[in-house]
Structure 1
């Protein structure tokens, strides 16, 4: 499998999340930068090699066709706005995502400065969020975040594209949303009521028994299963953020990596549109998303040698070569025979 970007790196003490749009005519600057991203990250990390500096770049659906000729990742599409009876998950602009993380904010800031400096006027920043670790990986509402993240081999299986889309193996998909919290309203609730909304105990982070856990709790609606009842995972690297200015915002920056974006999108459909007896995720009554974007995260190998730009002679030659009839290649994975995207034995089921 091609070398992935560091999507499996552990949660760190600090992060910078940058969502950018590519200006008209800025495509060349972006393409010129992509092969150099690994070197830029290494040059900064040598100053503090034990502080876990990493950079992940994602590319949005609209930008993909402006940057690259040839095939598209099978799961790449614009983020779908979700309008439920009470709550809205908006779709907002975003051509590039920069997810910079380390144990120290100075390292994140330095690397983000170098990358955006190279891009210059080729891009505009549409969202900038600085995240921090809050005590024992809790969010600002006081609960531990990311408890059910897969680890080891399970994490790679949940996050990295495999034989189902061989041209983009080693890549991933990522959804980002910036949630703003109503802290006054949340803090007015008793701990017991908060626990029923989340579906976990607050102090010791234990999931509530199914007989007690409400159907509209956050944990219940974020549980997605495949056709055989197996749990389907994503990898969350959420971080709190906040400001003390007048009207300052505070909340959680949601960032979820997945092998198939359907899994993340199904969780969001459950939260905003409801499932079964649950009309919506009760946490949304206190936490409101103001952004929403989906990106493909190419492999590191892809970034090192990206396909030609659209409209170039190289792109035309590539198109001519790929248009010649080719015998069908059997799947290297015997579990994938019907052309569907799978995670384990995942087959897509209709939305509730």
Structure 2
């Protein structure tokens, strides 16, 4: 029996929706707990991953070791936006039409206490590629290594099986990307789009070299479950990284920003993260969210 939310390590779905909620200031502690309990029941009947933010748990007087707000990180290339979302839901479905009913149900369930702030529609592209055509999630940990990287192991049953997730909604500038030659694009990513082969002669700014998980000390492995998104004429990649802590993600992102060696990730030449946030994904007990750490 697994103690983690199954969507954390399950294959990427065909269609998905990322929902970001604020908790209404007028909501009482009792109302919040009651609504989260109802959400727990909802997750037992739907393919959904749920994350709770530190600000929400602070309102409940709860502290989860390792849970914190997204750090204040920045450089001269990009501004890091940190919205204070309270609740994150990743709806996962096989048919796009299923999202309509699931969205209505979850909004009805949460609406007395939580307000939907941001909705991001996502989809699978060419068996797991970014909209630029490059394969996403290469060298993701697998099987036991994935569990070790993404799932918290603890003697405390309230924490055992939980996970920490970092999310970033990256918006691509396709005009900028398409103005580059294939050679320049490959060296910006650090892999050949044609065969996904890593390029040894790529510059130090190449995205692959900035984020090579095995090159950090300690190694910085996370389980990535990112998906392309599109809204009107905007599109990009909704980046999702699960870890047994936030440390591995932060090590990678700090290097992307060049905070130690002043070399910024070449990815910033055509893409930027619109939203950045951290959440704690509670464990599962008997098919429901285990919210006992919250007194639920």
Give the aligned partner of residue 146 of structure 1.
137
Q: Which TM-score applies when normalising by structure 2?
A: 0.90
**d(CA) in 2 for partners of 1:216 and 1:108?**
38
CA displacement 1:291-331 (0-9 Å, x = unmatched)? 1110111102383453456xxxx9xxxxxxxxxxxxxxxxx
The runs of at least 4 consecutive aligned structure 1 residues that moved more than 4 Å come to 164-167
* Partner in structure 1 of residue 283 of structure 2: 299
Query: Conserved in 2, the CA contact under 8 Å of 1:18 and 1:128?
Result: yes
Could you tell me how far 1:148 is from its partner in structure 2? 1.6
Tell me what 1:34 maps to: 36
Of 109, 122, 137, the residue aligned with 1:118 is: 109
The answer on whether the counterparts of 1:56 and 1:100 sit within 8 Å (CA) in structure 2 is yes
Show CA shifts across 1:79-104 (max 9, x none).
11311122222211210000111222
Encode CA deviations 1:140-187: one digit per residue, 9 max, x unaligned. Answer: 112111112111111100000113876412100011111111100100
1:45-64 aligned within 5 A: 54-64=47-57
Contact 1:173–1:297 under 8 Å retained in 2: yes
Deviation at 1:65, TM superposition (A): 1.8
State the Cα distance separating 1:24 from its structure 2 match.
1.7
Match of 1:318 in 2: none
* SS class of match (2:104): helix
The equivalent of 2:4 in structure 1 is: 4
Aligned-pair CA distance for 1:42: 4.8
Cα 1:142–1:267, aligned 2, differ >3 Å: closer, same or farther? same
- Corresponding position of 1:220: 209
TM-score (norm. length: structure 1): 0.76
Shift of residue 232, structure 1, vs aligned partner: 2.7
How many angstroms apart in 1 are the aligned matches of 2:43 and 2:54?
A: 25
1:96 pairs with 83, 87, 94, which one? 87
Distance 2:58 2:259 in 1: 34
Residue of structure 1 equivalent to 2:237:
252
Unaligned runs of 5+ in 2: none
Q: Aligned to 2:289, what secondary structure does the other structure show?
A: helix
Contact 1:82-1:90 at 8 Å conserved across structures: no
Residues in 2 aligned to 1:131 and 1:31: alpha-carbon distance in whole angstroms: 29
Cα–Cα, structure 1 residues 196 and 260, in superposed 2: closer, same or farther, change >3 Å? same
CA contact under 8 A between 1:221 and 1:275: conserved in structure 2? no
- 2:192 aligned residue (194, 201, 214): 201
Find the counterpart in structure 2 of residue 273 from structure 1.
258
Residues 19, 89 of structure 2: 8 Å contact kept: yes
Query: Structure 1: any 5+ residue segments left out of the alignment?
Result: 46-53, 315-352
Following the alignment from structure 1 to structure 2, what is the Cα–Cα distance between the partners of residues 295 and 308?
Answer: 15
